[in-house]
């Protein structure tokens, strides 16, 4: 089941307390309406009744979908600076859920679950959309690197990340993230480019950019953590 709780947060614009309901875990099978809110960008996004300012709650969340085999841990975005600690925390939780102490049928289930660590809801949404569309997240992260490395306009806008929001038969659509989380113009990439990169194979992609994968964290953001 999904677990939610009520919280009171102060509006960053006017300081008025705002009561919100946030999720600690999200079961996509049992609560598809919460998955829909994740996908449309409204999950954990609220509005202050006093001044109308948007409030975005960046908190830890466990997302799981047994049918799709998703077991995704989402941490607040700033915690990417503590990647090693987050990975250790996730491994401990995963081992308790699916490890040697679990019943055999649960252990078998765990072997088929896709374990991922995300930082921020943008990245969590990106992972869900990609796997629902049967895209490899490793190939997708390489695609982002290729696009950011080849687009002068994106460099001029100081774009630091691309987040998948839509997949069509012919194209992949991304929102962009600039400094301090500011959105810049969206980016559309042809599906043919993704297919071209996929043809290289995972081994070749990893050989060229090993930092794209750090355990269950598969992201171009891993490149910024390179020494």
pLDDT of residue 222 exceeding 90, the answer is no
In a shared domain, residues 57 and 108? yes
Domain, as residue range, for 102:
3-120
| Of 120, 140, 158, the domain-final residue | 120
In a shared domain, residues 106 and 146? no
In a shared domain, residues 221 and 181? yes
Predicted pLDDT at 47: 93
Report if residue 108 sits inside a domain: yes
In a shared domain, residues 93 and 198? no
Q: What are phi and psi of 101, to 5 degrees?
A: -80, -10
Per-residue pLDDT, averaged over 51-80, amounts to 95
pLDDT of residue 54 exceeding 70, the answer is yes
In a shared domain, residues 51 and 101? yes
166-211 pLDDT per residue, tens: 999 999 999 999 887 777 789 999 999 999 999 999 999 999 999 9
pTM score of the predicted model: 0.93
CA distance 205 to 13: 44
Report if residue 125 sits inside a domain: no
In a shared domain, residues 110 and 147? no
pLDDT of residue 225 exceeding 90, the answer is no
In a shared domain, residues 30 and 64? yes
Per-residue pLDDT, averaged over 153-161, amounts to 91
């Amino acid at each position: 089941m999904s677990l939610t709780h009520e919280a009171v947060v102060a509006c960053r614009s006017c300081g008025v307390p705002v009561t919100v309901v946030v999720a600690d875990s999200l079961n996509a099978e049992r609560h598809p309406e919460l998955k829909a809110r994740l996908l449309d960008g409204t999950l954990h996004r609220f509005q202050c009744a006093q001044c109308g300012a948007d409030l975005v709650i960046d908190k830890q969340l466990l997302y799981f979908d047994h049918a799709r085999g998703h077991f995704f841990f989402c941490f607040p975005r700033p915690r990417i600076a503590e990647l090693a600690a987050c990975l250790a925390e996730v491994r401990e939780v995963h081992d308790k859920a699916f490890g040697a102490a679990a019943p055999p049928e649960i252990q078998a289930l765990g072997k088929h679950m896709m374990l991922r660590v995300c930082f921020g809801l943008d990245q969590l949404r990106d992972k869900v959309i990609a796997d629902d569309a049967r895209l490899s997240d490793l190939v997708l992260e390489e695609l982002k690197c290729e696009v950011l490395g080849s687009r002068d306009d994106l460099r001029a806008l100081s774009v630091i990340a691309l987040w998948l929001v839509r997949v069509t038969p012919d194209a992949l659509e991304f929102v962009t993230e600039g400094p301090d989380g500011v959105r810049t113009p969206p980016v559309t990439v042809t599906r043919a480019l993704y297919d071209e990169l996929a043809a290289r194979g995972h081994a070749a992609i990893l050989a060229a950019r090993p930092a794209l994968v750090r355990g269950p964290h598969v992201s171009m953001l891993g490149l910024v953590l390179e020494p």
